[in-house]
Amino acid sequence: MKGKLYLLAICVLILPSLVLASCGKSSSTTSSNLTNTSSSVGTTTSSSPSVATTITVGNNPTSIAYDSGKGEIFVVDGDSGSVAIISDSTNEVLSTLTVDPAPACLVYDPAKSEIFVADNNDGSVMVISDVTNAVVATVTGLNSPPNTMVYDSGKGEIFVSESGAVDVISDSSNTVVASIPITATSIAYDSAKGEIFAPDGYNSNVAVISDSTNAVVTTLTVSPYPGTIAYNAAKGEIFVSVSNAAEGLNVILDSDNSIKVVKGGIPGYYSYNSGKNELYAETANYTVSILTDSSSKVVATLSSKIGPMAYDAGKNELFIVSGYSTISVVTPTN
């Protein structure tokens, strides 16, 4: 249903210079799309949240997603070819499912109570029921191994970015129903507009895809080498990281596709807390900064080293891939 916010699933994609869905070395640029460039990320004094507990998961967790229906966290372990299921009430691993040899990333589909897990070897996508914790279908037909996945609540579809296209999977038929020939290294769903925002980490642009036509409706020029991306439903904004913090955090307003560059922006993995209208962002030294969407000010910093993360709206907790075999659980109050 449009208007609801669901989690952005992020995979680990290793590219030159940066471990996230972007690559390359940033340089200065100008663009007619870039506006309000005088904004800056400030810092306010605040008590910083701390890690409440850590959970041991596999050998190499690479992607994480929150299941709002069951209050569970699903974590892909790329080394062991498995998916761990964590209870958010006990913070314990309930079970571990063996899947294909190289699971890369995953996303939760609340309408079907299913988890879609992409495989890095053959580009297939496994569908897991959160009721039975078993694989109920396998989707084939992707062009190449995936980078990231996102769930489109308006259409009941999964959008999958990979090296040569953005593929669209119907969750009713578990088949690929469209393939959009663009390069996208990350992806986010805008539930208010029914659009997909897909940055190309190798170039300075973000493609905007209509989920009605599965076609690119416009392409926006942003700062060099855009990386991971997060959607803010409260303000109708899309946050786009870039590979060099000096270039700034790019914020796209979805009403007119204008772009604000917040100087001193933070590259890295993003997750959005819809309850507090805050953005969690990986910093250059691999810690987490918490920014408010109203002021773009850093209000707190987490000491945990991080990778991909998932926000649990039911418990107001942040689950963070914080190291090899470790998930950190943080209550992000400030």
Structure token pair of residue 132:
């039975």
pLDDT, tens digit, for every residue of 287-329? Answer: 777 777 776 667 777 766 667 888 898 988 889 888 788 898 9
Q: Distance between CA atoms of 302 and 268, rounded to whole angstroms?
A: 14
CATH architecture classification, 14-330: 7 Propeller (2.130)
Asked whether the beta carbons of 97 and 133 are under 8 A apart, the reply is yes
| pLDDT score for 263 | 66
With a cut of 90, say whether residue 40 has pLDDT above it.
Answer: no
Provide mean pLDDT across the span 124-140. 94
| pLDDT score for 48 | 60
Q: How far is CA 71 from CA 10, 18, 66, 84, in A?
A: 19, 32, 7, 14
With a cut of 80, say whether residue 92 has pLDDT above it.
Answer: yes
Provide mean pLDDT across the span 43-61. 73
Q: What percent of the chain has pLDDT over 70?
A: 78
| Highest mean predicted confidence (pLDDT) among 39-53, 124-138, 282-296 | 124-138
Pairing of strands 61-67, 72-77: antiparallel
With a cut of 90, say whether residue 125 has pLDDT above it.
Answer: yes
Pairing of strands 125-129, 134-139: antiparallel
pLDDT, tens digit, for every residue of 150-162? Answer: 999 999 999 999 8
Q: What percent of the chain has pLDDT over 90?
A: 42
Provide mean pLDDT across the span 145-174. 93
Q: Distance between CA atoms of 199 and 189, rounded to whole angstroms?
A: 12
Q: Distance between CA atoms of 299 and 135, rounded to whole angstroms?
A: 41
Higher-confidence residue of 292 and 79: namely 79
* Short-list 332, 295, 329, CA closest to 90: 329
With a cut of 50, say whether residue 25 has pLDDT above it.
Answer: no
Beta sheet of 326-330, edge-to-edge order: 51-56, 326-330, 317-323, 309-312
Q: How far is CA 51 from the centre of its chain?
A: 21
Asked whether the beta carbons of 274 and 10 are under 8 A apart, the reply is no
Instruction: Read off the DSSP letter of residue 7.
Output: P
| pLDDT score for 284 | 61
pLDDT, tens digit, for every residue of 216-243? Answer: 999 999 988 888 888 988 889 998 888 7
Burial string for 82-98 (b: 16+ CB within 10 Å, else e) reads bbbbbebeebebeebbe
Asked whether the beta carbons of 325 and 58 are under 8 A apart, the reply is yes
Domain boundaries, the chain: 14-330
pLDDT, tens digit, for every residue of 246-299? Answer: 666 788 999 999 998 876 556 667 777 777 788 887 766 667 777 777 766 677
| pLDDT score for 23 | 22
* Short-list 122, 195, 198, 120, CA closest to 157: 195
Mean confidence (pLDDT) of the chain = 80
Q: Distance between CA atoms of 162 and 65, rounded to whole angstroms?
A: 19
Provide mean pLDDT across the span 170-174. 97
| pLDDT score for 39 | 47
